[in-house]
Structure 1
Amino acid sequence: MRPRPSIRVQMKPISPKFVTFEGIDGCGKSTLIDELASWLDRTRVPYVKTREPGGTSLGEKIRGLLLDPAHRGMNRQTEVLLYTASRAQLVAEIILPALKSGAWVLADRYIDATLAYQGYGRELDPDPLRRLQHWATQALVPDKTVLLDCGIDTAAARMSARNHRPDRIEMEERAFHERVKAGYLDLASLDPGRFIVLDAEKPLPEVIADFRAAFREIVPAP
């Protein structure tokens, strides 16, 4: 008998995605980034995890300047420019090359963080902030942005539980963080097609379940 020809199933190519995670500190971004990374591992999809500020050798040095409590007198414009410099380096050195190679990019914060923290939190005019970010990132916009909506007290309690030492931004007054939280929700309402808003006040297993449900059509089944 002739051997039967083998049948090879050709899987549909998975295009690279740029996914960002946003929210106030302590909302659970790292947990969901790890959840998505594990999901991609099971589906054998290449990916890169990164963070802001930082993610590159230069960016990590800028991160140290930005978050050091010793620099609490930093000018608002200086703060914007340092965050933007770190982001520009990250896009050029890590994000764009990864996407061009076919890998997904999972980023802890991106442009929306500047709009929320410096635009709403520092009460700076958002228009020049947007133009600056557009130029610095070579107009790169995330495919999806996961926003974890979490209360100020809940986030603070979570950070306290892990003996976290607050950085320069986390040491800001409560009103600042309230403006940031409200700002994130405003940004999400302006771009509902990109944002996925999750209730991060829920117990962690429920947040993860909500996240999986939201991403079911985006990430292939393992």
Structure 2
Amino acid sequence: MTRIVAVHSFRGGTGKSNTTANVAVMAARRGLRVGVVDTDIQSPGIHVLLGVDQTTITRSLNDYLWGRCAIAETAVDVTDALDPTLEGRVVLIPSSIDASDIARVMHDGYDVGLLHEGIGSLITSLSLDLLLLDTHPGLNEETLLSIAVADTVAILLRPDQQDYEGTSVTVSVARKLKVPDMFLVVNKTPAAFDPADVRRRMHETYDCEVAAVIPHSDDLMAFSSSGVFVLAQPGHRLTTLYGELATRVIG
């Protein structure tokens, strides 16, 4: 049965898209067919990590939501461009970065119910084992739908006072929506922090599983979103942590 995972954060800058891309590749390394939907329609970006040139895209998630095409027509198989030796596949459903498309979304919105329908259609037409939803930060109608349709919600936060309150709201909303499975990922953790202590404090604060405490990495920062980190640095400590996180996501 296909697992749908919403990767979410209350605030931007948590590393949500980087985490999604790296987990997608680690899952594909294990032979899974992985779909990645960029539902951050107002500020899309995961296509950069997955090596997709937007000028080559003829259809996007926007086109599907505006009734121009079937959602499967927007799918871009990025596997061979990433790593042709991957046992599984990685397929991206990108959102448009065209300024007029983004402006239209912000002004007119779209029928969010179509997104729910599209997810089901996508899983069937592409025979997916895992579907990752890279959400828009914060809480709005679109992100609430992404959370509601997910089997699992992975909530990213930094060990930062500005993230704590918003994460509490997100956890509360996910519980009210009766999400079957939820966990936290504490990202960009300073080296001065003890990971075990961070894990304990986050668990006590939110009464929620902490699946990973990922340290701040100068190597990742220097990589500058130029691709998928686990492919460029297979022996890196972060690659091991992303692999462990993928195991938790796959279930």
Q: Match of 1:89? A: 114
Please give the residue correspondences for 1:1-222 in structure 2 after superposition, counting only pairs within 5 Å: 15-23=1-9, 24-54=11-41, 55-57=61-63, 59=65, 60=96, 63-66=102-105, 82=109, 85=110, 87-93=112-118, 95-101=119-125, 102-103=127-128, 104-109=130-135, 116-118=138-140, 141-150=149-158, 180-187=166-173, 193-202=180-189, 203-204=215-216, 212-216=243-247, 218-219=249-250
Q: Structure 1 residues 96 and 26 mapped into 2: Cα distance closer, same or farther (>3 Å)?
A: same
Residue 217 of structure 1 deviates from its aligned partner by 5.1
- Structure 1 gaps of 5+ residues are 1-14, 72-77, 119-128, 154-173
Per-residue CA deviations over 1:82-114 (Å, capped at 9, x if unaligned) read: 3xx353333323x1112224312111127xx6x
Instruction: Report the Cα distance in structure 2 between the residues aligned to 1:22 and 1:207, rounded to whole angstroms.
Output: 20
**1:187 to partner: Cα distance:** 3.2
Q: Deviations over 1:37-56 (max 9, x none)?
A: 11122122112211224333
Distance in 2 separating the partners of 1:210 and 1:64 = 37
1 or 2, which has the higher strand percentage? 2
CA distance in 1 between counterparts of 2:238 and 2:155 reads 11
Tell me: CA distance 1:209–1:187, structure 2 relative to 1, closer, same or farther (3 Å).
Answer: farther
Given that residues 144 and 195 in structure 1 are in contact (C-alpha distance below 8 angstroms), is that contact kept between their aligned partners in structure 2?
yes
Partners of 2:169 and 2:135 in 1: CA distance: 14
Separation in 1 of the partners of 2:22 and 2:188? 18
User: By how many angstroms is 1:32 displaced?
Assistant: 1.1
Asked if the contact 2:22–2:242 (Cα under 8 Å) also holds between the matched residues in 1, the reply is no
Distance 1:16 1:215 in 2: 15
Q: Distance in 2 between matches of 1:91 and 1:58?
A: 12
More moved, 16-25 vs 45-54: 45-54
On the 8 A contact 1:22/1:147 being kept in 2, the answer is: yes
5+ residue gaps, structure 2, are: 42-60, 66-95, 190-214, 218-236
Q: How many residue pairs end up in the alignment?
A: 150
Is the deviation greater in 210-219 or in 22-31?
210-219
* Percent identity between the two aligned chains: 12
Deviations 1:161-188 (A, max 9, x none): xxxxxxxxxxxxx8xx876444123335
Letter in 2 for 1:37: A
Letter in 1 for 2:156: L
Instruction: Tell me how far 1:152 sits from its aligned partner.
Output: 6.2
Aligned-partner Cα distance in 2 for 1:88–1:62: 19
- The 4+ residue runs of structure 1 with deviation greater than 4 A are 58-62, 188-193, 204-211
Check 1:152–1:58 CA distance in 2 against 1; reply closer, same or farther (3 A cut).
farther
How big is each residue's C-alpha offset from its partner over 1:58-104, in whole Å with a ceiling of 9 and x where there is no partner? 5556643455xxx7xxxxxx8xxx3xx353333323x1112224312
Q: TM-score, normalised by structure 1?
A: 0.51
